[in-house]
Amino acid sequence: MNLSKTVFGNVHSIETFGAFDGPGIRYVLFLQGCPFQCQYCHNRDTWSYEKNKQMTADEVLSDFEKYSHFYRKGGITVSGGEPLLQIHFLIELFRKAKERNIHTCLDTSGGSYHTKNDALFMELMTYTDLVLLDIKHIDEKKHQSLTKSSNQPVLAFAKLLDQLQKKVIIRHVLVPTITDEEEDLKHLRRFLNTLTNVVGIEVLPYHKAGIKKWNDLGYTYELEHISEPTKDMVKRAEAILMNDYLFLSLLK
Ligand code: SF4
């Protein structure tokens, strides 16, 4: 008798032709539920922990195989919401994906990381090829104001990934007047300088594409008055965060 319990993922949605979340064309699985409440979230409908589409790892991989000719230079990315909330499902999915030689990428805010579960996080990392880690704000108070949560788990997770020498791309959403202060960007750069596993840094310009979802769900979008950053603002932030940065490829 097989007593092992089937692990289900609580899936928000699936994108079969993702071009922005990892290398190549990717199958992107968005999981339901998020511990953060980012003011600029463009996936407001992923926050709830309610039961949505339930899928096993085998079901996800069978679906992936239907479009596998697209993904020869890509793979599978799990995003959210916050995928690490469903770490048991993630371990199962990425373990099975690696058995099929599929490139695996985790897109996370790191918000649910806790050292007490290090063994699980480390197990997941043995099956993960690349992590896209969002650092929403380096300043604790401003992070709390932006996301209603602490940035301590995020920074601790970044350090664990460094310790494991897991390849990571750091992402920072640039929101004028909120996440683009020069001092904060320099502070973030100092933190990034302590890491030796970074393969890329991406400054993502804030955009308002998510407002409709907030309105449709009956919530107030508090950043309506904030403009999207100009190209010069993005270039300035990129210069602070990336100029002469020692990426992993340069360190080896
Ligand atoms: S971490 Fe991502 S999904 Fe969660 S609230 Fe922030 S932007 Fe939205």
- Is the residue at 106 inside a domain? yes
Residue 53 lies in a domain: yes
Distances (CA, A) of 220 to 111, 152, 177, 215, 217: 23, 27, 19, 7, 9
- 48 lies in some domain: yes
Is 61 inside any structural domain? yes
- The residue among 160, 20, 170 whose CA lies nearest residue 109 is 170
Name the nearest CA neighbour of 35 among 196, 149, 168: 149
What is the reported pLDDT for 2? 53
Q: Is residue 224 part of a domain?
A: yes
Average pLDDT, the chain: 96
**8 Å CB contact between 186 and 219:** no
Q: Which atom, in ligand 1's list, is nearest to the CA of 35?
A: 4
Do the domain assignments include residue 3? no
51 exposure class (CB count in 10 Å sphere: 0-12, 13-18, 19+) = exposed
Looking at the predicted structure, is the pLDDT value of residue 1 above 70? no
Which pLDDT score is estimated for 3? 58
Count of structural domains, the chain? 1
Is residue 39 in contact with ligand 1, taking CB distance under 6 Å? no
What is the mean pLDDT of the segment spanning 115-144?
97
46 lines ligand 1 (CB under 6 A): yes
Beta strands in 22-179 (DSSP E): 26-31, 53-56, 75-79, 104-108, 130-134, 168-174
Residue whose CB lies within 8 A of the most ligand 1 atoms, among 13, 40, 46, 223, for a mutation test: 46
Question: What percentage of residues in the chain have a pLDDT greater than 90?
Answer: 95
Q: Are strands 8-18 and 53-56 parallel, antiparallel or unpaired?
A: antiparallel
Q: How remote is the CA of residue 213 from the centroid of ligand 1, in Å? A: 13
Q: Average pLDDT, stretch 11-28?
A: 97
Q: Domain range holding 16?
A: 8-251
Q: How far is the CA of 98 from the centre of ligand 1 (A)?
A: 27
Asked whether the bond before 81 is cis by omega within 30 degrees of 0, the reply is yes
- Tell me if 84 CB under 6 Å of ligand 1: no
Question: Is the residue at 135 inside a domain?
Answer: yes
Task: Quick: pLDDT tens for 171-230.
Answer: 999 999 999 999 999 999 999 999 999 999 999 999 998 899 999 999 999 999 999 999
Q: Note the pLDDT tens digit of each residue in 26-43.
A: 999 999 999 999 999 999
* Residue 190: per-residue pLDDT: 98
Q: Which residues contact 243 (CB under 8 A, 6 or more apart)?
A: none
Residue 50 falls inside a structural domain: yes
Flag whether pLDDT at 164 surpasses 60.
Answer: yes
Q: What is the pTM of this model?
A: 0.96
Q: What is the CATH number of the domain that holds 211?
A: 3.20.20.70
